[in-house]
A = this chain, B = another copy of it.
Amino acid sequence: MRVDLRLNAIVDPGRAGGCELAELARRCAEGGATLVQLRDKQSETRAMVEQARAIKKALAPFGVPFVVNDRVDVALAAGADGVHIGPDDMAVEDARRLLGPGALIGLSVKNLSEAEAAPIALIDYVGSGGVYATLSKAQKNPPIGPEGLARIVDVLHRRAQKRGKELPVCGIAGIDAGNAAPVIAAGADGVAVISALSLASDPAAAARALRQVVDAMLAKRGT
């Protein structure tokens, strides 16, 4: 599935500033988020399924696709569009087998060797980083910066092109409207954002500001 990765909003109950997640997702979509991911490392399965259903319902009017981090069971139960797979999650091969060819599968890619090894044929997009320092997640490795991201994006885009496939890549970690431009200049197709939306007093306005930067840089790049 071709996914618009310009603004990938990640909603996380541990980083939502007390905001109800479905309402947060709705506001992000209202402001221009093009993909929403639920990342929940703490809730019980039943609560996660209910949460995912509420987010799916909130996003329906916007036609914005919705993926669940890690949990194929939750994605299937709630009828989400797919999953985002990290290094400790189910293997992409298994997720694709369980979700079918029509599902959206995103993969985290942290370095060049992961970019070389990524199962291009089985995935629809990549989230790559950490680009900048972030407090949203414990970072095992130092930020790769826009320079590191550029090298990873290059490998992924070249590998995808060889297969005649488009593989959008978004940068992730510590990105906001103030530092998003170098991420797109590095070749990324968009940005993944948690705090800059979740903790904004007006998430829709924050999404709009991010989209302006991303869209302007993409236009400049001529894509």
Contact = CB atoms under 8 A, between A and B. Distances in A.
Interface string A31-50: 00000000000001111010
B47 A90 contact: no
Contact of A94 (B49, B70, B98): B49
Contacts of A46: 87-91
Contacts of A215: none
Number of chain A interface residues as a range: 20 to 34
Interface string A55-96: 000000000000000111110110000000001111100100
Contact of A72 (B44, B76, B94): B76
B94 A77 contact: yes
Contact of A45 (B45, B49, B70, B97): B70
Contacts of A70: 45
- Which of A73, A89, A90, A91 has the largest count of B CB atoms less than 10 A from its CB? A73
B77 A98 contact: yes
Interface string A81-124: 00000011111001001100000000000000000000000000
A140 to B, nearest CB: 14
Contacts of A76: 72-73, 98
Interface of A: 44-47, 49, 70-74, 76-77, 87-91, 94, 97-98
By Cβ-Cβ distance, the 3 closest A-B pairs, closest first, are A44-B88, A73-B73, A72-B73
20 contacts: A44-B88, A44-B89, A45-B90, A46-B87, A46-B89, A46-B90, A46-B91, A47-B88, A49-B94, A71-B73, A72-B73, A72-B76, A73-B73, A73-B74, A73-B76, A73-B98, A77-B90, A77-B94, A77-B97, A77-B98
